[in-house]
Amino acid sequence: MQSITKAFLGICSGLLLLSGCADDPVTPLASPAGANSSGPNASVTTSGLPVLSWQRKQQDTTILEYSVLTEEGWSKPVEVARGTDWFVNWADIPAVQQVTDAFWAAHYLQRTPGGKYAYDVRLRISNDGGKNWRDAGSPHQDGTFTEHGFVSLYNQDERLGIIWLDGRETSLPDSSEGRHGGHGSHGGMTLRAAVMDAQGQFTERQQVDALVCDCCQTAAVTTLDGPLVIYRDRTETERRDIASSRRLQGNWTVSQPVGVDGWQINGCPVNGPALVARENDVAALWFSGANGQSQIFLSRSTNGGETFDSKLKVNDARALGRVTALMYPDRSLLLAWMRENSDGSAHIVGRFVNPNNDLGPIVELVQVSPKRASGFPKLLLSDVGTVLAWTDQTEDFPRVSTVLVNVSIFR
pLDDT tens sequence across 352-385: 999 999 999 999 999 999 999 999 999 999 988 9
Instruction: Say if residue 237's pLDDT is above 60.
Output: yes
Distance separating alpha carbons of residues 83 and 62, to the nearest angstrom: 6
pLDDT confidence tier of residue 409, bands split at 50, 70 and 90:
confident
Please say whether the beta carbons of 382 and 366 come within 8 A: no
Distance separating alpha carbons of residues 226 and 279, to the nearest angstrom: 10
Please say whether the beta carbons of 105 and 117 come within 8 A: no
Tell me which residue of 9, 15, 126 sits closest to 64, measured CA to CA: 126
pLDDT confidence tier of residue 172, bands split at 50, 70 and 90:
low
Instruction: Say if residue 256's pLDDT is above 80.
Output: yes
Tell me which residue of 317, 325, 213 sits closest to 276, measured CA to CA: 325
pLDDT confidence tier of residue 16, bands split at 50, 70 and 90:
very low
- Our separate counts of H helices and E strands in the chain read 1, 30
Rounded mean pLDDT, 135-161: 96
Instruction: Say if residue 116's pLDDT is above 90.
Output: no
Give the bridge partners for 44, in sequence order.
Answer: 50
Q: For the stretch 253-284, what's the b/e string if a residue is b when 16 or more beta carbons lie within 10 angstroms of its beta carbon? A: eebeebbebebeeeebbbbbbbbbbeeebbbb
Q: Report the Cα 367 to chain-centroid distance in Å.
A: 20
Q: Kindly list the distances between the CA atom of residue 166 and the CA atoms of 61, 118, 139, 277, 405, in Å, as whole numbers in the listed order.
A: 26, 11, 10, 25, 36
Domains of the chain: 43-372+405-410 (2.120.10.80)
Return all residues near 53 (Cβ < 8 A) that are at least 6 apart. 40, 41, 42, 43, 64, 65, 66, 67, 80, 94, 95, 96, 106
Which one has a higher pLDDT value, 56 or 9? 56
Please say whether the beta carbons of 171 and 146 come within 8 A: yes
**DSSP E strands: which ranges in 158-280?**
159-166, 190-196, 202-209, 219-223, 226-232, 242-248, 251-252, 256-257, 274-278
pLDDT at 165: 98
* Average pLDDT score over the chain: 91
CA geometry: angle 124, 157, 379, nearest 5 deg? 65
Give the bridge partners for 251, in sequence order.
Answer: 248
Side by side, the strands of the sheet bearing 274-278 are 274-278, 281-288, 295-301, 312-313
In this structure, of 41-50, 80-89, 126-135, 170-179, the range with the lowest mean pLDDT score is: 170-179
Residue 142 sits at φ, ψ, to 5 deg, of -80, -25
pLDDT confidence tier of residue 276, bands split at 50, 70 and 90:
very high
Distance separating alpha carbons of residues 192 and 178, to the nearest angstrom: 18
Distance separating alpha carbons of residues 264 and 86, to the nearest angstrom: 33
Rounded mean pLDDT, 202-228: 97
pLDDT tens sequence across 284-341: 999 999 999 999 999 999 999 999 999 999 999 899 999 999 999 999 999 999 999 9
Please report, in angstroms and rounded to a whole number, the separation of the first and last CA atoms in the chain: 25
Handedness of CA 397, 398, 400, 403 (dihedral sign): positive
